[in-house]
Structure 1
Amino acid sequence: MMNSPYKILYEKLDECPVRGKVYHFYQLVYIISGNGRQLVNDYQVPYKSGDMLVLMPLDVITFDIQQTTEFLFIRFSKHSLEQDALAMDNSLKLELLLSKVQSNRGCILRGGNDQTAVKYLTEGIVRESVNGSLYSKRLIEQYVNALILIVARNLAQAPLPEEISENSDSKIVNILQYIQNHICEPEKLKQEQIGAVFGLSTTYVSRYFKKHTAQTLQDYIAQYRLNLIENKLLYTNMRIGEIAFELGFTDESHLNHLFRKYRNLTPSEFRKKKSAAMGQKLSL
């Protein structure tokens, strides 16, 4: 598509044409038909018809195709996510949600109405891409925008398996989502504030959280912030001070202190080390 923030690619394949391919953009991959395995970095999960996969920049990707598969690839840059067509409220910042992709490899759809909606949207994208008629380009952009919002919603609703069990009550799920939604607002993450929002005493909040997650409240918040910092260090050119400001740190030194405490190196050292490793990956 010309002059579009998205690149749409339909392929019907019996085998993966390039194994271990590395891309520099985000991808939504919809499985129209067929099945096989998706190999991304160190992850290996099955795929089937109706699955929606999310791939990150610099992922190493191979599809082990077991049955002839129709793929719909939708590729876009971070810049395209920031355009006004995708303006999101503060509770649905896509860059926060993308940090969950690493722990949600495989289909990110949770079933129900979203799976049906994605099927119709992808059919519309393929149809308009083939027809190329009046307003097709604009319609495709609208369909893709809707797909990205559905992906964001499913990532937001997806609890990490290691954090909560099947028997966890709904309150702990809501607390986790509250923390994720307000991760850039430290004042809202204080123990007394979380207790007030969820009807728990200040002294009981930490015990309740650890009982259901086997992790302290402060460690969970710190690790979630660290994952966001790492994503920004890997996938953006933001300066450390800019990342600190965006994620609600009092200053750059506070971010550096937290990062060194949990990662045993500074953010700058982490970025340099990972950049070197990615450079080696790309040269293979």
Structure 2
Amino acid sequence: MKRYKQFQPLAISEFEAAVWQHPVHKHNHFELIMIRQGSGVHHINGNEITYNGSAIFLVGPDEEHFFEIAERTQFIFIKFTDAYIHQVNSGSSFGLQQLEYLIKSRETHLAGFHLNEADQLTAESVINVILSLKQDLLSNEQLIWLQVLALAALLQRNMPELKVAAHRSKDMQAVFCYVHKHIYNPAKLKSRVMASHFNTTPDYIGPYFKRNTGITLRDYISNYRKKIIHQRLDSGNYSLKQIAAEFGLTDASHVSKIIQ
């Protein structure tokens, strides 16, 4: 299968197509795709998502996808790498948390975003600002980043809520999404709290996770938190004290112990 590699941290393109020119492919970056008009089907990881008019999709690295165009379609692609996310962040963690949750939520990637009329107009306005800045990516990098965070905030509130109905209570994707969403709040990651959320017991959820992943729930949470903290530190935009406050940790020494 073809794999596209993007070496620059950020790339923005706008084009129309009557026929999709790319095969089923993967890539090493994230793609935020906005469709302004047209109709067809977005194929992603074997799922088919029909679009007719405006639509927004988020595709992560290593996800297989392509478009089947029925009616000439206008696309806007915002492509960014992991390096971009941590390279230009100003040190404000709120928007970054929302973006990190979005890009980790494969459940959303497989469904797309269904915005109400007001939010759709806002998203289009934000993307128009991004397009106006794309001629000089280097000079406008920080301004574009702020627009991406605004989009992340807008899209997150339009994500499908994690269902806690009985037939979904033990769904592994829902468990992953829950962990990713609450990684900054240790109290919500306690086994009894998670068990209550998923309508099961503390004695069940841990072994269930281990049986399906080969790793304990506690280790997964620890490893995921450690990975994000390392990304914060590598960016050079955060102090240990700031990271401790963001993740609900005791102090900077607690952060140091986690990353050892």
TM-score, normalised to structure 1, is 0.56
Is the CA contact (8 Å cut-off) linking 1:47 and 1:106 kept in structure 2?
no
Give the paired residue count: 206
Is the CA contact (8 Å cut-off) linking 2:22 and 2:66 kept in structure 1?
yes
Distance 1:91 1:64, change over 3 A: closer
1:100 to 105, 113, 123: 105
Matched, 1:73 2:67: no
Task: Please provide the CA RMSD for this pair.
Answer: 4.3
Matched, 1:111 2:83: no
Q: Which residue of 1 aligns with 2:49?
A: 45
**Shift, 1:123, TM fit:** 1.9
**Shift, 1:116, TM fit:** 1.7
Distance 1:6 1:112, change over 3 A: same
Q: Which moved more, 1:84-93 or 1:13-22?
A: 84-93
Q: Which residue of 2 aligns with 1:159?
A: 161
Is the CA contact (8 Å cut-off) linking 1:25 and 1:57 kept in structure 2?
yes
Is the CA contact (8 Å cut-off) linking 1:26 and 1:57 kept in structure 2?
yes
Identity level (%): 21
**Shift, 1:92, TM fit:** 3.2
Distance 1:21 1:247, change over 3 A: same
Q: Which residue of 2 aligns with 1:127?
A: 132
Q: Which residue of 2 aligns with 1:85?
A: 90
The one-letter amino acid paired with 2:182 is H
Distance in structure 2 (CA, Å) of the matches to 1:35 and 1:182? 36
> Unaligned stretches of 5+ in structure 2?
1-6, 167-176, 227-260
Is the CA contact (8 Å cut-off) linking 2:40 and 2:50 kept in structure 1?
yes
**Shift, 1:95, TM fit:** 3.2
Matched, 1:244 2:222: yes
Q: Secondary structure at the match of 2:32?
A: strand
Distance 1:19 1:181, change over 3 A: closer
Is the CA contact (8 Å cut-off) linking 2:20 and 2:67 kept in structure 1?
yes
Q: Secondary structure at the match of 1:62?
A: strand
Distance in structure 1 (CA, Å) of the matches to 2:18 and 2:149? 30
Deviations 1:116-165 (A, max 9, x none): 211111122223336x599655543432332233334434xx2145x449
Distance in structure 1 (CA, Å) of the matches to 2:137 and 2:191? 56
> Unaligned stretches of 5+ in structure 1?
166-176, 196-204, 211-215, 231-240, 249-284
Distance in structure 1 (CA, Å) of the matches to 2:125 and 2:213? 32
Matched, 1:182 2:182: yes
**Shift, 1:68, TM fit:** 0.4
Rg: which structure is higher? 1
